[in-house]
């Protein structure tokens, strides 16, 4: 049985650092409501429907999300986890979930192990919190996860191994060593080890076993490693060089037809190792990139997304009864135009087609 995991962004609540960096009261909704259409038939802004502009500190909001996900056949959430040498960010929603037994929806974590920068609005060079790696931090980090997350009976495990995803494993100075340290600590705590998987993105694609990981996860969309994007980049550079109309949306941004993008990815050769497939219902981060350089998948529809999901399920043979995951990016990335949650344009159609496809498997 296929078990879909929806990637979840716990950004929708104010916290001290965001107040300092972006202005008092800033949340992801601040970006969402600023978006405007850039070209004909461009779907912006993406505005929520059923759940409204929620605050994830509220149990009612989190319970409503879980109820929608369960009804639609989603198995669990994969929350982004932000850890910077003991300092955490965006942790309030998940911390409150842990204290509330009514929130019984399965979950796992994905360590977003990048520097915290202004990257999402195109200013990569400004580092707000730096990510530093060391064996001492590896030990402190895993002990924290074991105590506060892994021992929770809602946390997703495979053969008594907590399932932890890593967003950018290529940033680790020695991923193989870190994996060994974490595995040993998990065994000390009574688990059978740790089940590590890396997000298969941005050029890092190698057998997970070579770094003591178990699997990789398809992270969609892949912004760089596809010929559609490369052709668009070449055109953009050419236009800039010639000094042509730089105000055109197709010049200032990477705009790709969703149907073409899906076709390309369905025809990719599968990795030779354990790899959990992934897909995205849509993508458009122009709400965050008001000055251009957005990546936009135009003309996404619930039907096209449903067809992609159906093909993935048809072509995916689970590696075991427990290793049967597919990853949907994302549940609620509203400022990236990337969400299963109901919106004002499509209502609950993305969730409805998810349920329909899953029930027909």
pLDDT tens digits in sequence order for the chain, 361 residues long: 999 999 999 999 988 887 788 888 888 899 999 999 999 999 999 999 999 999 999 999 999 999 999 999 999 999 999 999 999 999 999 999 999 999 999 999 999 999 987 655 444 567 889 999 999 999 999 999 999 999 999 999 999 999 999 999 999 999 999 999 999 999 999 999 999 999 997 667 889 999 999 999 999 987 666 655 555 555 555 555 555 555 678 888 889 999 999 999 999 888 999 999 999 999 999 999 888 889 999 999 999 999 999 999 999 999 999 999 999 999 999 999 999 999 999 999 999 999 999 999 7
Give the residue carrying structure tokens 């080890």: 193
Instruction: Please state, in angstroms and as integers, the Cα–Cα distance from residue 257 to each residue in 192, 307, 346, following that order.
Output: 45, 15, 18
Query: What's the CA angle centered on 93, arms 151 and 295, to 5 degrees?
Result: 110
- Fold annotation for 3-223+268-288+300-359: TIM Barrel (3.20.20)
pLDDT at 308: 98
Among all chains, which residue has been given the structure tokens 């060089």? 241
Residues 6+ apart with CB under 8 A from 321: 1
Regarding pTM above 0.85, the answer is yes
Checking DSSP bridges between strand 87-89 and strand 275-276, what pairing results, if any? Answer: unpaired
* Dist CA 169 CA 52 (whole Å): 35
Taking the domains of the chain in order of start, what are their residue ranges?
3-223+268-288+300-359
pLDDT of residue 122: 43
Note the pLDDT of residue 121: 44
């Amino acid at each position: 049985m296929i078990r879909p995991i929806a990637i979840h962004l716990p950004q929708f609540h104010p916290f001290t650092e965001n107040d300092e960096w972006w202005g008092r009261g800033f949340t992801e909704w601040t970006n969402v409501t600023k978006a405007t259409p850039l070209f004909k038939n461009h779907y912006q802004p993406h505005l929520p429907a059923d759940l409204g502009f929620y605050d994830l500190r509220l149990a009612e909001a989190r319970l409503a999300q879980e109820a929608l996900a369960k009804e639609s056949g989603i198995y669990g959430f994969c929350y982004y986890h932000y850890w910077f040498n003991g300092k955490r960010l965006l942790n309030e929603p998940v911390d409150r979930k842990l204290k509330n037994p009514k929130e019984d929806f399965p979950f796992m974590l994905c360590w977003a192990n990048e520097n915290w920068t202004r990257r999402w609005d195109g200013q990569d060079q400004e580092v707000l919190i730096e990510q530093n790696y060391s064996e001492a931090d590896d030990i402190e980090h895993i002990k924290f996860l074991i105590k506060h997350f892994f021992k929770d009976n809602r946390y997703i495990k495979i053969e008594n191994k907590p399932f932890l995803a890593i967003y950018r494993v290529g940033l680790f100075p020695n991923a193989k060593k870190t994996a060994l340290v974490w595995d040993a600590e998990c065994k000390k705590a009574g688990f059978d080890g740790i089940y590590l998987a890396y997000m298969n993105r941005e050029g890092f694609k190698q057998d997970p076993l070579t770094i003591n990981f178990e699997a990789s996860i398809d992270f969609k969309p892949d912004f760089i490693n596809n010929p559609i994007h490369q052709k668009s980049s070449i055109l953009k550079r050419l236009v800039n060089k010639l000094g042509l109309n730089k105000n055109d949306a197709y010049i200032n941004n990477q705009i790709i037809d969703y149907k073409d993008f899906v076709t390309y990815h369905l025809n990719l050769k599968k990795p030779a190792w354990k790899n959990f497939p992934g897909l995205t219902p849509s993508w458009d981060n122009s709400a965050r990139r008001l000055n251009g350089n957005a990546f936009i998948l135009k003309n996404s529809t619930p039907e096209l997304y449903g067809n992609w999901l159906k093909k993935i399920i048809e072509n995916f043979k689970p590696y075991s009864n427990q290793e049967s995951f597919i990853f949907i990016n994302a549940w609620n990335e509203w400022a990236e135009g990337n969400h299963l949650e109901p919106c004002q344009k499509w209502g609950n159609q993305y969730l409805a087609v998810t349920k329909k496809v899953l029930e027909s498997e």
